[in-house]
Structure 1
Amino acid sequence: MTDSRAAATPPHPKDAWPALWALVIGFFMILVDTTIVSVANPAIKAALDPATNNLDNVVWVTSAYLLTYSVPLLITGRLGDRFGPKNIYLVGLAIFTAASLACGLSTSLGMLIAARAVQGLGAAMMTPQTMAVITRTFPADRRGAAMGLWGATAGVATLVGPLAGGLLVDGFGWEWIFYINVPVGIVAFVLAWRLVPKLPTSPHRFDIPGVVLSALALFLIVFGLQEGEHFDWAPWVWGMVVTGVVVLAVFVWTQRRTTREPLVPLDLFRERNFSVANVAIAAVGFTVTSMALPQMFYLQLARGLTPTESALLLIPLAILSGVLAPFAGRLLDRTDPRVLLVPGLLLVAGSLVLYSALIFADAAIWAFLVPAALMGIGNAGMWGPLATTATRNLPPRQAGAGAGIYNTTRTVGSVIGSASIAAFMQARLEANLPGAGDATSGFGSEGLPAQIVGGFSTAMGQALILPILVSLVGLVAVLFMRRPSVIPRRGDRAADAPAAASAPAAAGE
């Protein structure tokens, strides 16, 4: 095939950095928009859903976004391969920015959840393109440093999101956590338009039945988990979850048997490190999403901190993660990924254990800076190394598909974590404050009556047990990684040749 798709050539590695920085701005905005909502949840609940004590209502502001973000990732990765990562990224960024404006203009919880769902669709179009560009423009011996920037972006976003959310909620109102995306989105669009190159594309067929089956399976599972506590775990709720699991199994079966190009190329999972990295990133997504809710509800409602004050406690996390992640990426280019991943995941799990212990002890507020610091160090050895390990051996023609799979598993983990923590928090509240779900006044943003602070705090501390256990699942998974083959040193032409030559070859397939 010789057409305009083959005319584009990949940039030289030194020219790939400006393109990556332009894409990272949008990726950063996506991550900020996830973490920023965790701080604003109490304010959103007080403004749009003040009459109930069911925390799962406001959690759908996060879950709707994560659901519509995760479901299309498999196909949006392929869209990037077919039409070019730049084009798909720009369309997604435009949708995301417009939906952010709609979120800020929402006057009811239902309107906000609907706008967040559209926002998730835009994010789904953007995310795989960042990893695909790294895979296709950076040779293997430089990819760790590039993924280090990707990991640092995640770390810094954990600070900027909650801190910006706290400042905006306190100063202007919860609506401004969404309005702020509009000018940032416009700047990101202009930079991506100018700096991101047009990469060669490959023809792909799209597995529409696979898209439908995967979407149906995820919806049934997540909706069942999210609403289970609200409906007292009625038999039909369990039926939805079980049906979702069955549909998911059917989806995997069809992917294996399809004679056309599958939505998920299962042969990618023959690479052990790719498979293990996907399991681990699902556990990481679950942990990071689920730990934020009990932390923020405890700090703001039980301890009376403002959103800004509670976000300031995350400063050590973001600073250490942002500073250390690039160094971890460079080290990963020369070592076994387990050298970074095992201590990283151990530190994350340990920090959550310490956080829970501090809640039970009613510790001084400053003490919560300690687990935040430990988590920051752990994050540096977790995000970038997992992404690098997953994408190191991906064939360029399937860079988008691999990035879509990886980001899908990460985000599905986040969706399930968000849904599960809501149910678990509600269960712990019922256990420690019997009748809390039937009370006539809701948990507002002005703190709690003194007589229930103890029970509420205990419930939030117990809720952290869930992300602790799941983080340990990720730790066990990475132990099964194998040391990758030796990567040639920088400057070795043999190492650079595949990255430079593969894209034109793929375009002609």
Structure 2
Amino acid sequence: MSTTLALDPPPAPPRSRRPVPVWLALVAASLPMFMATLDNLVMTGALPVIQRSLAPSVEQLQWFVNAYTLSFAAFMLVAAALGDRWGRRRVFVIGIALFTVASAAAALAQDPASLIAARAVQGVGGAAILPLSLTLLAGAVPERLRPMAIGVWGGVSGLGIALGPLIGGAVVEGMSWRGIFWLNVPVAVVAIPLVLVALRESRGRAQRLDLVGVLLAGVGVLLGVWGIIRADDDGWGSARVLTMLGASLVLLAAFVAWERRVPNPLVPLRLFRSRSFSVANTTSLAFAVGMFGAVFLLTQYLQVDMGYSPLEAGVRTLPWTAAPMVVAPLAGALAPRTGIRPLLLGGLVLQAAALAWLAVVTDGDPTYASLVPSFVLAGIGMGLTFAPSATAVLADMAEDDHAVASSTNATVREVGVALGVALLMAVFQAAGGALTPADYATGLPAALWVGAAIVAVGAVSALWLPRRSPAGNGASAGSMAPAGRMAPAA
């Protein structure tokens, strides 16, 4: 019996060759991506309010975030495969529409289970948005402008993630927590026509969909994250937790073995022969686990422990969240001159130092002013990470591999977000922390130290980024001659 699914594409529409201004292509690709990345953490500032409204358990509170990130991660590679076959712009638009419908369902949710289900469907829509936005952008701008375009794209991506708490807090305070989901509807109404006008249709290698690979990877990741979440309640040595974690490892090992032998793999393992691609994915995982797990906890710390409202807490994260908006485009512009490795390494070192600083400061009775320097340091570090990481992923890739390479990296990062929230929350609770003013600060420093250590591991792995390697074939990040350094713009 066949283990793959043949998906016949509809007839290809005629391709338009009319030139599109670079700024318009940037807006068309970046606006939906901003909407999808915003929803990674837009709920963090609203969680205390949602807790009072829907009375979820601590586990359900984590699933409000993890249901989105896990479905996001599980379906990105599927979306890339469908985009290669059906047309990337077509699948991109379908993703925007699905994301918007699920956002409306989340806004109408009346209980925790309904909200978790809507968030999971949102993640499926987002899975078609984030990786395909980079691929479509790379095909829409001239090669000499791609480093700049990827820098701006990275800045917008970082801005969407970083501004989640601020925008969530402002909407919650001005309207209600349901408003953070209604906000996506008018954005989609503008974004879909813009995409159809500014981005041309493109395709990659047409191949069968690897359903076995989808199931092995998706269920393996789900069980792993679920096991970590359950560990605090059941104990790390409990039969249920050990079974979940063991099954996760077995399924992920089976996924790798399957991908080695199937003729049409979901993730072609040959991509990992590129040292730049492998190291970029390693650093992305460490960055997401350490940093976004910490953001999840720190955004609530400003409300639960320090007593700020959702909007006040969001405004006070601005020294952190505003920095990537400025630094990421600069990093994209500097990459052709400095190379990728110094920027990525520097960004990860700054973030690890910022989390360690926060761990020291919060192990006491800090004022907000004492947090600001570490917030600034973390923001600069994030800005130095986004664009160089995206550039390194595509450095040695042929054009047909852009979508799957970008999707693989985005999948790794989203899995990292889910693992980070689960892992650092487990450390937080194991250290005596609870979602109450009296106990929140008790568990926070230990969780931040773990986050700092994980990001530091990512910084060490960045040292293995190659200085120079044979030219990538059609690399989208500016036709990089070396994997770790881009060729100068013509």
TM-score, normalised to structure 2, is: 0.90
Match of 2:308 among 305, 308, 311: 305
The alignment partner of 2:308 has SS state of coil
1:504 corresponds to: none
Cα distance 1:237–1:344, how it changes in 2: closer, same or farther (>3 A)? same
Q: Is 1:16–1:138's contact at 8 Å kept on the other side of the alignment?
A: yes
CA offset digits 1:110-142 (Å, max 9, x no partner): 110010000000001111101212443456553
Q: Percent identity?
A: 32
Report the AA paired with residue 463 of structure 1. Answer: A
Distance 1:130 1:178, change over 3 A: same
Are 2:489 and 1:477 equivalent residues in the alignment? Answer: no
1:80 aligns with 2:86: no
What residue in structure 1 maps to residue 426 of structure 2?
A: 423
- Name the count of aligned residue pairs: 465
Does residue 1:465 correspond to 2:449, yes or no?
A: yes
Deviation at residue 160 of structure 1 after TM alignment: 3.1
Question: Contact (CA 8 Å) 1:298, 1:457: kept in 2 or not?
Answer: yes
- 1:188 corresponds to 2:191: yes
Structure 2: distance between partners of 1:109 and 1:257: 41
Structure 1 Cα separation of the partners of residues 303 and 103 of structure 2: 25
Alpha-carbon distance change, 11 to 409 in structure 1, aligned in 2, over 3 angstroms: farther
1:239 match: secondary structure: helix
Name the counterpart of 2:39.
33
Deviates more, 1:393-402 or 1:87-96: 393-402
Moved more, 133-142 or 355-364: 133-142
Q: What's the CA shift string for 1:12-47, capped at 9, x where partnerless?
A: 6x7454223212101101111112111111111121
What do the CA deviations read for 1:233-285 (whole angstroms, capped 9, x no partner)? 42121111111111110110111112x21111111111100010011111112
> Per the alignment, in what secondary structure is the counterpart of residue 71 of structure 1?
helix
Distance in 2, matches of 1:107 and 1:165, equals 19
Equivalent residue, structure 2, for 1:502:
none
Structure 1 partner of 2:4 = none
Any unmatched runs of 5+ in structure 1? 431-435, 437-442, 489-493, 497-509
Alpha-carbon distance in 1 for matches of 2:142, 2:431: 49
Aligned partner (choices 241, 260, 285) of residue 237 of structure 1: 241
Distance 2:272 2:471 in 1: 21
Name which of 22, 26, 41 aligns with 2:28: 22
- The Cα shift of 1:200 comes to 4.3
Q: Once the 2 structures are TM-superposed, how far is the Cα of residue 4 of structure 1 from its aligned partner?
A: 6.1
Once the two structures are superposed, what CA deviation does each residue of 1:44-98 show, in whole Å capped at 9, x if it has no partner? 1121126x5xx33201100011111101111111212112211011000000001
Alignment of 1:130-169 (within 5 A): 130-138=133-141, 141-169=144-172
Output the CA distance in 1 between the equivalents of 2:85 and 2:18: 18
Change (3 A) 1:160 1:296: closer
**C-alpha distance 485-250 of structure 1, shift in aligned 2 (>3 A):** closer
In the TM superposition, residue 7 of structure 1 has moved relative to its aligned partner by 5.5
Q: CA deviation at 1:159?
A: 4.6
Match of 1:506 in 2: none
* Alignment partner, residue 247 of structure 1: 251
Q: Distance in 2 between matches of 1:126 and 1:386?
A: 18
Q: CA deviation at 1:9?
A: 6.6
Residue 8 of structure 1, aligned match among 1, 12, 15 = 15
Say whether the 8 Å CA contact 2:95–2:128 is kept in structure 1. yes
Aligned residues of 1:78 and 1:404 also touching (Cα < 8 A)? no
The match for 1:69 is 72
Kindly provide the CA deviation profile for residues 334-371 of structure 1, in whole angstroms up to 9, marking residues without a partner as x: 33211111111111111111222221232221222211
Is 315-324 or 347-356 further displaced after alignment?
A: 315-324
1:324 to 316, 327, 336: 327
Letter of the aligned partner of 2:367 in structure 1?
Answer: A
Deviations 1:318-349 (A, max 9, x none): 32211121111011123321111111111111
Instruction: Map 1:13-412; keep pairs closer than 5 Å.
Output: 15-49=21-55, 55-138=58-141, 141-233=144-236, 234-258=238-262, 260-412=263-415
Does structure 2 retain, via aligned residues, the 8 Å contact 1:148–1:326? yes
Q: Return 132-141 or 474-483, whichever deviates more.
A: 132-141
Inter-partner Cα distance in structure 2 for 1:495 and 1:108? 50
| Partner Cα distance (2:141, 2:461) in 1 | 27
- What is residue 475 of structure 2 aligned with on the other side? none
Match of 1:505 in 2: none
| Structure 2 unaligned spans of 5+ | 1-9, 473-477, 481-490
Distance 1:133 1:334, change over 3 A: farther
Task: Describe the superposition over 1:200-242 as per-residue Cα deviations: whole angstroms up to 9, x where unpaired.
Answer: 4542221111111111211211111122222234212111111
What SS class does the counterpart of residue 115 from structure 1 fall into? helix
Q: Deviations over 1:466-491 (max 9, x none)?
A: 21111011101111010245989xxx
Structure-1 separation of matches of 2:73 and 2:294 = 19
Moved more, 85-94 or 147-156: 147-156
**Cα pair 2:348 2:456 within 8 Å, conserved:** yes
1:5–1:201 CA contact under 8 A, matched in 2:
no
Instruction: Compare relative contact order (CA 8 Å, sep 6+) and give the higher one, 1 or 2.
Output: 1
Taking the aligned partners of 1:236 and 1:11, their CA distance within structure 2 comes to 58
Alpha-carbon distance in 2 for matches of 1:74, 1:111: 26
Distance 2:144 2:467 in 1: 15
Query: Do 2:151 and 2:333's aligned partners in 1 also have CA atoms closer than 8 Å?
Result: yes
One-letter code of the match for 2:249?
Answer: V
Aligned-partner Cα distance in 2 for 1:133–1:409: 20
Bigger shift: residues 398-407 or 333-342: 333-342
Secondary structure of 1:86's counterpart equals helix
- Whole-Å separation in 1 of the counterparts to 2:337 and 2:266: 33
What is the distance in 2 between the residues matched to 1:363 and 1:348?
20
CA distance in 2, matches of 1:6, 1:115: 33
Q: CA deviation at 1:156?
A: 2.2
Q: In the TM superposition, what whole-angstrom CA distance separates every residue of 1:439-486 from its partner, at most 9, and x where no partner exists? A: xxxx4xxx63xxxx3x43131122211211110111011110102459
Q: CA deviation at 1:291?
A: 0.7
Deviates more, 1:188-197 or 1:479-488: 479-488
Change over 3 Å in CA distance of 1:11–1:202 after alignment to 2: farther
Question: Whole-Å Cα distance in 2 between the matches of residues 411 and 94 of structure 1?
Answer: 21
Amino acid at match of 1:297: Q
